Amino acid sequence: MPSVADLVEDQVLRSLASPEGYATGRLLADQGAVTFEQFGPMVVRAVVADDGEPYVVDLRVGPGKLAWTCSEPGGSRGDFCRHCVAAAIETWRRAPDRAATSTAGAPPVPQPATGAAPQPGPAPAAAPTGPSFPPISGLHAILFGPDADELRAFFGQTLGLASVDAGEGWPIFAMPPAELAVHPADVPGQGLYLLCDDLDATLAELTRRGFRSFAPIHEEAWGRVTELALPGGVELGLYQPRHPRPTG
C-alpha cells in the first residue's frame, strides 16, 4: 500500500490546489511554517503557522488516493488549501527515502515577475525505454473490506503468511511469486486469485485449520477453481493452475 508521502508528488498537489493555493503553500513550506505532530506512513498530522495562527492538517491514505482535512474553514469543506499544500510538501521532503537529499529536489517555487529572467528548472526526464528501464520489483495487492482485522487474521494466522509492520500496527504480508495475465472483457476490472499446487490438499488443510467457507470446486480449461468467502463479504479466488507458469 502506498504511504502518504507516495501520494503527495508535485503534480498531484498542483491538480488538487488552486494556482494561488499551491504557490502560497509552497512559500509557507519554504519559510519553515510546518511542524509535525504525527508522521506515519498512513497518517500525517501537521501544524502550519500562517499569519500567527496555527492550522492543523491531517493527511491520510484513503482508498487508492490521498485524503485530507484542515482546521481552516475551507479545508474542513474539502478544499485542498494552502495549509494542506504546505504540509504535503514537507511530508514529501521528509519521507525516509528523501530525507538525505536537499529540499531543492522539489520543483522550484513560482516567483512573481521582477524583470529578471526566471531561473530554468531541471529538464524533464525522458520516458524510460528499452533494456535500461528498471525492472518492476514486485506486486502489491490490496483487499478492501469492512472487517480488516479479521481479513488480516486470515492471512496471518490461517494461512500463516509472514508480515512486516508498516507502522501503527498495519501489517503488509509477504506473498509467494506473483504473475499477471490480461483477459479481454467488456467492462474494465481486476481479479485476484491465490494459487496452489494441489487444490484438494490445500482445502483439506484449510478445513483442518478451521476455515470451511469455500465454494465447490469447478473445472476449467486453465485450472481447478474455488472461491473463498472471507470475512466482511470479501471473495477471493483460489485455483490449481493447468496453464504454464512464468519464471524469472
Instruction: Tell me whether residue 233 is in a domain.
Output: yes
Instruction: Tell me whether residue 247 is in a domain.
Output: no
100 with 164, same domain: the answer is no
Instruction: Tell me whether residue 61 is in a domain.
Output: yes
CATH number of the domain to which 95 belongs: 3.30.310
Task: Give the count of alpha carbons within 13 A of 157, CB side only.
Answer: 9
Residue 98's pLDDT is 57
Instruction: Tell me whether residue 113 is in a domain.
Output: no
83 with 163, same domain: the answer is no
Choose the final residue of a domain: 70, 104, 138. Answer: 104
How far apart are the C-alpha atoms of 160 and 210, rounded to whole Å?
A: 13
156 with 234, same domain: the answer is yes
Q: Which helix (H) or strand (E) holds 218?
A: strand 218-220
Instruction: Tell me whether residue 213 is in a domain.
Output: yes
Residue 84's pLDDT is 92
Choose the final residue of a domain: 76, 104, 132. Answer: 104
163 with 237, same domain: the answer is yes
Instruction: Tell me whether residue 10 is in a domain.
Output: yes
Name the packing angle between helices 82-94 and 19-30 (round to 10°). Answer: 50
| Residues 94 and 34 sit within 8 Å (Cβ to Cβ) | no
Q: What is the mean pLDDT of each successive set of 10 residues along the chain, which is 248 residues long?
A: 84 90 91 89 90 90 83 72 93 72 41 43 48 68 90 93 89 91 88 93 93 93 93 92 85
Residue 189's pLDDT is 86
Total structural domains in the chain? 2
92 with 20, same domain: the answer is yes
CATH number of the domain to which 218 belongs: 3.10.180.10
Residue 177's pLDDT is 87
Which residues span the domain enclosing 70? 5-104
Instruction: Tell me whether residue 125 is in a domain.
Output: no
How far apart are the C-alpha atoms of 230 and 101, rounded to whole Å?
A: 44
**For 158, which DSSP code?**
I
Residue 248's pLDDT is 61
Residue 35's pLDDT is 92
Instruction: Tell me whether residue 229 is in a domain.
Output: yes
How far apart are the C-alpha atoms of 75 and 18, rounded to whole Å?
A: 13
